[in-house]
Amino acid sequence: MAQHDTKVHDSGPSTNAHFDQLSNKYEDFIGLVTGAIGRYALDSLISAPTQDSVIHDNACGTGLITEHFQHIAVKTGTSAKKIHATDFVESVTQVLQRKADQSDWKNVEISVMDSQELPFPDNHFDLSITNFGIFFLPDPQKGADHIYRTTKPGGTAVVTTWKERRIMNTIIEAQRTIRPDLPTLGSPWAELWSKEETLRNVLVHAGFKPENVEIVERRTDAVVETFLRDLDIVTRSYPAATEGWTEDEKSRLGKEMLRVAKERDPEGGGVGGLYFVAFIAVARK
């Protein structure tokens, strides 16, 4: 499952509870940026799937990647043979299952599955994509090992992480202003995974040859317009940001975020305090 921040710095049940709470709101806020990066990777950095392609949407969340593969199929006239969409959190797979049922995606199979213990056979996937999921795993290296193991020789793995998340820094500053007595959002993975070498090393240690791992940066402003149009979007869509707050305090978050963002970027109207920058790794086996 893609991006989350929480005031509890651990994995396992608390992480699942967070995503259970977020699953039906994910695409209103965080999904805007994770989806934008994932779509860019599929459209610009790799070849379109063929009718023989077997694909893994690993840590699929609510299925933004799987959904985009269906859009690609409509555009190209060619559907992948099979898309396996898997995530450890059942509630987000249920969101994707509803999409698949409503749209009658016959080539999609959705499962609750741990990315660190994939049951798929070796050399199974032509394409494996893990969009903002690897850093949430208790053992990211084990997750990378399974990505490598399950990718076919000649196949491709795409793995994305965040280099910068400026809007999260803006949220934290606003939290400190409104409720300085409460813990702010925290991501125990953020500092380590903001380094390109972290992503590169985990893939190389999994087995991908260094010369076959290309990492590019991509900025996205996808959330900016939505936030500037609706300052309450963070409060509604990201419960962890206002945990323990009164309704009056919650109503102040968006306005305070805008103030902080404009203070940091007065010439840009605050945009410089709201964008994201991703690392996108394309690793060929």
pLDDT at 245 over 60: yes
pLDDT at 272: 94
Task: State the Cα–Cα distance between residues 138 and 186, nearest whole angstrom.
Answer: 16
Q: What is the pLDDT of residue 127?
A: 98
Q: By the 8 A CB rule, do 190 and 245 touch?
A: no
Question: What pLDDT was estimated at residue 239?
Answer: 87
- The pLDDT assigned to 30 comes to 87
Average pLDDT, the chain: 91
**Cα torsion through 223, 275, 67, 280, rounded to 10:** 180
pTM of the entire structure? 0.91
The pLDDT > 70 percentage for the chain reads 91
pLDDT tens track for 3-43: 344 433 333 334 444 444 444 566 788 899 999 999 999 99
Distance from C-alpha of 239 to C-alpha of 182, rounded to nearest angstrom? 14
d(CA 241, CA 233): 11
In angstroms, rounded to a whole number, what is the distance separating the alpha carbons of residues 122 and 233? 43
pLDDT at 2: 42
Q: Please report the pLDDT score of residue 29 as a whole number.
A: 87
pLDDT the model gives residue 241: 92
Q: Class of 13-284 per CATH?
A: alpha beta
Of residues 19 and 262, the one with the higher pLDDT is: 262
What is the 8-class DSSP label of residue 42?
I
Domain boundaries, the chain: 13-284
Look at residue 18 in the predicted model and tell me its pLDDT.
43
> pLDDT digit string (tens) for 123-182?
999 999 999 999 999 999 999 999 999 999 999 999 999 999 999 999 999 999 999 999
At 84-134, the pLDDT tens digits run 999 999 999 999 999 999 999 999 999 999 999 999 999 999 999 999 999
